[in-house]
Every structure is written in C-alpha cells, then in structure tokens.
Amino acid sequence: MTRKNKRMMFTMAVLLPFAVWMMVYMLIPLGSVIFYSFTDAKMAYSSFQMVGLYQYEKMFTNPTALISIWNTVKAALIIMPVSLVLAMLTALGLNALSERFRNLYTFVFFLPNIMSMTAVCLVWKWLYHEQYGIFNAVLEFFGFEKMQFLRSVSQALPSLCVIHIWSIFGYYAVILLAAIRGIDKTLYEVADVYGANALQKFWYVTLPMLKNQLLFVCIMLTTSAFMFFTPVKLLTDGTPGTSTSVLLFYIYQQGIQQGNLGYSSATSLVLMLIILFFSLVQWVLTREKKPGQKAAKALDAARKKEAVQA
C-alpha cells in the first residue's frame, strides 16, 4: 500500500465518525422536517397527505403565529445588543484586574451559564414576585409603586429577556476576554507612542482585532435570542395574553401539545431561515479583507498627523 493510500485511509477513518454524526443527528432530521412541512402529518396518526405550501400559507395568515414571530424579533432586539455590550464591558473590566482577581471573577461571571435554567427561572420567579419579591421590596422602599413583572403585557417579555441575558452574557464575556488577552501588546505600545487615549485604543485597536470573535459572539447571541424558550415555558406559559408567546414556544405548542407535526415542521423551518438571515446580515456588515486594517489605518493617520505638527 502506498503512502498516499495510507493517508487517504487515515483521513477517511478520522472523518467517518463525524460524517456519521452529521448524517444521523443533522441531515436526516433536517430532511425529515423539510419533508413533513409539506404534509398534514399528525403525531397521533401514521397516515398523512402531501399538501404543498399549505402549512406555510397557514402560518403567515395565522395571527397568533405572526404575533409569536414579532415577539421573537422584539426579544432578539433586546437580548442580542444588551448581552453583547455587557459581555464586552465585563471582558474589559476583567482584563484590567490582576491575575488572581481575574480568575476569580471570570468564574463568577461564567457560573450562571452552567447552572440549570430551571433553577435559575425559579429563583427569578421569586425575585419578580409581586408581594414578596426583592425587586418590588426595593421599589416600595424608595417610594415607587410595585410592578407586575410577569403579569403585565408590557413588562413580561422584557422581564424574561433579563433572565436570559443574565444567564448567558458571562459566557461570551469569557470568550471576549480570551480574545483581548491574545491581542499583540505591541499595538497598544505603538498607540501609546502616538498619544492615543483609552477610548481611542479601544476603538482603533481592540475592536478591529476582535472582529472575528465579535462576529462569532453576535451570531451565537442571535441564535440564542431566537431560541428563547425556557423562561417563557416555566414562568409565563406565553401569557399574559400572547405577549410572551415567542416562536419556539409556539412551535412547542403546535408540535408537542397539539401534535400538528406538519405545521410545526414548517414553522421550525421558518425560524431556521430567520436565524440564518440575521446571521448572514451580521456577517456581511462585519466583513473586512484584513482583520487589522482599521487599526493600521488609524495608527498611520496618527503618524502623519504628528509629522505635520512637527
């Protein structure tokens, strides 16, 4: 057997488990969802008929489905930017600490991500309690009226988003912290030579060098925001009214509770396409030929300015 054949066999042996995993857990389920979305399949019956695009037409003419889509978009517009800003600020703060305190607080901020979401929701349910919750106790202490966090149409969805943000932003802060620690210190030294302040170094050095990591974090946060489910199911069950009925919860209702396999499959594909669309938009907006191009241009401009002043 030649060396080329040995290398090919080794490559196939390494890739085969991954290919089997992709086939069993990704491609076959995805193909099944696509197939059933064109049928009227029910969980309780084995027989079904092809109905074409009927399930998609039904979804986009169903007021409850449209409300769920809009609630999902609103939740994503809250969760994604707030989590990103908190993660970045936390990463910058952790980076400024000494190594001993950095390790301690990195663990503290990462801890909510590994906690059971069910336990987290139960704790926050107590915090939001109208009569005995800490938040309302603080509001009452300062002379404000108590709030119905989970029973108000206008407050319920943002209150649930707060829980989701609290549980995930620390994880992405750790990712950004690792990326910040990996930036070449020479760039900051050059920026110091040209008199850049802390804000300028952050804008022209740190952010450009974190482009790839920020894109990853944005895409993951977007996916997480659109997959928003557990707090909704455990704390409000889509109420009051349909104010917290997000798309994944709607899919759960249609597919699991009511057994509409075909309809829930079509809705799931629409959710996947929405996530894909927003991820592609973020990728296009943050695309850049060279990761350090912005930092290089900024430093070059500072160099030319100093030469003119001299």
Q: What is the pLDDT of residues 203-226, one digit of tens each?
A: 988 998 998 899 999 999 999 999
Backbone torsion region of residue 154, taken as left when φ is above 0, otherwise alpha when ψ lies between -120 and 50, otherwise beta: alpha
Token readout for 34 is 């696509």
Which residue bears the tokens 């928003």?
Answer: 228
Task: List all residues 6 or more positions away from 69 whose beta carbon is below 8 Å from its beta carbon.
Answer: 247, 270, 274
Task: List all residues 6 or more positions away from 243 whose beta carbon is below 8 Å from its beta carbon.
Answer: 71, 153, 154, 156, 157
The stretches in the chain having pLDDT less than 50 are 291
Round to whole Å and give the CA distance between 154 and 284. 33
When computed from its CA atoms, the radius of gyration of the chain, rounded to whole angstroms, is: 25
Domains delineated in the chain: 56-309 (1.10.3720.10)
Q: What is the pLDDT of residues 159-203, one digit of tens each?
A: 999 999 999 999 999 999 999 999 988 988 888 888 888 888 899
